[in-house]
Amino acid sequence: MNHIPMRMCVACRKMYPQNELIRFVRDNETGEVKIDEGKKLFGRGAYICKNADCVKKAEKKKGIERHFKCAVPNELYRQAEELV
């Protein structure tokens, strides 16, 4: 019986298993925010559902920016849409 970590989507605020979400991570040294496809990068993480509506909602509400308290380039949301 394995434990499955649950994480909250910053857009819809619902809990999902971690492996069903797109992870964004902020590098502590550079402050750069990027998508962590392998879910192995070190740093603070934020999650969005693998759902085009949630990606758009997160961009509109600036969910990733609020989570990390820093600016995030719009191209990061485009990359997330491609992963959906």
* CATH class of the 6-83 domain in this structure: alpha beta
Integer Cα distance of 4 and 6 in angstroms: 6
Q: What pLDDT score was predicted for residue 39?
A: 84
Integer Cα distance of 61 and 7 in angstroms: 19
Model confidence, pTM: 0.89
Q: What pLDDT score was predicted for residue 44?
A: 87
56 secondary structure, DSSP code: H
Q: Consecutive 10-residue runs of the chain (84 residues): their mean pLDDT? A: 91 95 91 90 92 94 93 92 91
Indicate the domain borders of the chain.
6-83
The residue to which tokens 């609020």 are assigned: 66
